[in-house]
């Protein structure tokens, strides 16, 4: 469906010529009159008529077809003049992103512009609906595992939060167990001292874990007590999204969804979501919500980086299309390993370096990360060798060379690569200092330079693109 609109232009012409044109019976005042319809060209999308305008000037009126206006187009318009986006370049929109055509033979890559401090929305930052809800979140969010760790002072943490907010990031993710409740307490103090409008930011916190093993789980008692405790520590009237950190096989799904529904109906939270749930568990929760008339989850938090791709790229698009569940991805730089700041171990002040301190979560994989490094890194770990026998650290070295050619860091390339995935609606990044956060925000500018050829080159290096298993017909097996 298209709207019709009229564009009028005036050109100096003789009055007699215009009057003579009028005397021939041209229906210029009413384009839908029979005379006009008989002369219109059905093969084109515009029709021109001529009439006498004011001051004896000839009016050329053109009927054009225009698409219905959509607010989605506003995502590609910078919110402030200082964003520096050049609309004079040849570009086009693909799946909500602006792609720039690079001439063939162009070898030098432009340097990423430093993020201006305190000037508003960062270049490339966009806001999208989370899942099929009405909640709008920035495509880059701040994860606070490292920001509120014990190694970081309160002043440094507040500076990181302020930098994120001033850059346009509106989603802050944390958990009740981050640094022994310190994360929620400090974030609440920062939000209250800064005096930001409550409607301008989104706070997500997670529940399930506890510092005492007998207090963990998803029972109605634990869910309600955890939410009340988080509200008290954050000093907020409500939490935007409550994330269930892990599925509980010992608790009925009906109890979980009814408890989350009670939390939302009580005004303690606006939405709820899941983290590290399998597609089957998400579907079970959705079906229980429909059966018992409860509010459905709007998002899933999942790990997404070079070496963890299957769930995000294959299963989450299906969850979104069928159930309306959006995706918040975390750890795009593999807990700091992909940053390339250390060639022989885990870099300092990264999430992986803090894992050992929080090994009380009683996860075998998390304990191994704190002792040996993540399963994708370290020659002592057999999972460090992929199925084709190629060392994953060699792949990271090749990607580092590619990042050098593009005048960016390895971390920026990894973040931009993750943002190119259509399923990712919000990508969580972590930072210990404001300079680290500025560096990661600059990766937003890199997404337009990741052309099809660049993405194919990354796929050639990784050689791990997930492929959906072929459908097997039961009739063919009979």
Cα dihedral 353→274→245→220 (10° resolution): 170
440 alpha-carbon distance from chain centroid:
14
CA distance to 45, 65, 67, 68, 343, per residue, from 3 (Å) = 11, 6, 6, 6, 59
The catalytic residue among 178, 201, 304, 358 is 178
DSSP 115-144: PPTTSSSPTT--EEESTTSS-EEESEEEE-
Would you say 17 and 58 are in contact if contact means Cβ atoms under 8 Å apart? yes
| DSSP label of 110 | P
Task: Give percent helix, percent strand, percent coil of the chain, each to the nearest 5.
Answer: 40, 20, 40
Task: Name beta bridge partners: 241.
Answer: 204, 271
Angstrom distance (rounded) from CA 352 to CA 318: 31
| Annotation marks residue 178 as catalytic | yes
Q: CA of 161: how far to CAs of 186, 307, 314, 399, in Å? A: 10, 29, 33, 30
Contacts 24+ apart (CB under 8 A), 392-398: 392/307, 395/306, 395/461, 395/462, 396/306, 396/337, 396/338, 396/340, 398/461
User: Which tokens hold the place of 273?
Assistant: 């979501």
d(CA 23, CA 405): 69
Phi, psi of 402 (to 5 degrees): -65, -40
Instruction: Please list, in sequence order, all residues whose beta carbon lies within 8 angstroms of the beta carbon of residue 385, skipping any fewer than 6 positions away.
Output: 391, 392
Q: How big is the chain by its Cα radius of gyration, in Å?
A: 28
Rounded Cα gap, residues 159 and 142, in angstroms: 13
What's the Cα-to-Cα distance from 368 to each of 350, 356, 358, 378, 443, rounded to whole Å? 16, 8, 12, 11, 30
Any idea what DSSP says for residue 308?
Answer: B
Just list the catalytic residues.
Answer: 178
């Amino acid at each position: 469906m298209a709207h019709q609109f009229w564009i009028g232009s005036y050109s100096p012409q003789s009055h007699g010529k215009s009057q003579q044109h009028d005397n021939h019976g041209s229906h210029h005042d009413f384009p839908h009159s029979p005379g006009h319809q008989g002369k219109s060209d059905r093969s084109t999308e515009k029709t021109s008529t001529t009439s006498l305008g004011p001051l004896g000037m000839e009016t050329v009126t053109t009927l054009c077809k225009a698409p219905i206006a959509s607010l989605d187009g506003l995502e590609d318009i910078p919110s402030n003049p200082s964003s520096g986006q050049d609309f004079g370049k040849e570009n086009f929109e693909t799946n909500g992103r602006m792609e720039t055509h690079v001439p063939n033979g162009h070898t030098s890559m432009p340097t990423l512009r430093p993020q201006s401090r305190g000037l508003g929305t960062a270049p490339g930052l966009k806001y999208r609906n989370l899942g099929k809800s009405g909640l709008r979140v920035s495509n880059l969010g701040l994860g606070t595992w490292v920001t509120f760790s014990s190694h970081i002072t309160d002043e440094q943490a507040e500076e990181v939060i302020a930098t994120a907010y001033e850059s346009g990031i509106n989603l802050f993710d944390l958990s009740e167990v981050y640094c022994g409740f310190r994360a929620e307490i400090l974030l609440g103090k920062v939000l209250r001292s800064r005096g930001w409008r409550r409607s301008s930011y989104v706070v997500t916190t997670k529940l399930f874990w506890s510092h005492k093993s007998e207090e963990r789980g998803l029972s109605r008692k634990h869910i309600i007590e955890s939410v009340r405790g988080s509200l008290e520590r954050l000093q907020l009237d409500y939490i935007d999204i409550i994330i269930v950190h892990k599925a509980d096989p010992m608790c009925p799904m009906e109890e979980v969804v009814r408890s989350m529904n009670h939390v939302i109906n009580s005004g303690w939270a606006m939405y709820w979501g899941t983290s590290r749930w399998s597609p089957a568990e998400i579907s079970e929760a959705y079906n229980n919500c429909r059966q018992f008339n409860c509010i459905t989850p709007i998002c899933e938090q999942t790990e997404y980086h070079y070496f963890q791709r299957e769930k995000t790229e294959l299963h989450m698009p299906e969850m979104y299309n069928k159930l309306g569940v959006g995706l918040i991805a975390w750890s795009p730089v593999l807990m700091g390993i992909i940053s390339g700041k250390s060639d022989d171990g885990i870099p300092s002040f990264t999430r992986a370096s803090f894992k050992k301190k929080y090994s009380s979560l009683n996860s075998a994989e998390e304990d191994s990360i704190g002792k040996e490094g993540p399963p994708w890194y370290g020659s002592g770990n057999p999972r460090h060798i992929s199925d084709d026998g190629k060392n994953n650290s060699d792949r990271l070295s090749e990607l580092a060379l590619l990042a050098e050619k593009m005048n960016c860091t390895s971390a920026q390339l990894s973040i931009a690569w993750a943002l190119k995935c259509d399923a990712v609606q919000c990508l969580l990044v972590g930072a210990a200092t404001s300079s680290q956060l500025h560096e990661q925000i600059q990766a937003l500018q890199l997404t337009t330079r990741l052309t099809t050829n660049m993405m194919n080159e990354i796929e050639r290096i990784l050689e791990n693109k997930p492929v959906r298993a072929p459908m097997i017909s039961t009739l063919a097996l009979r």
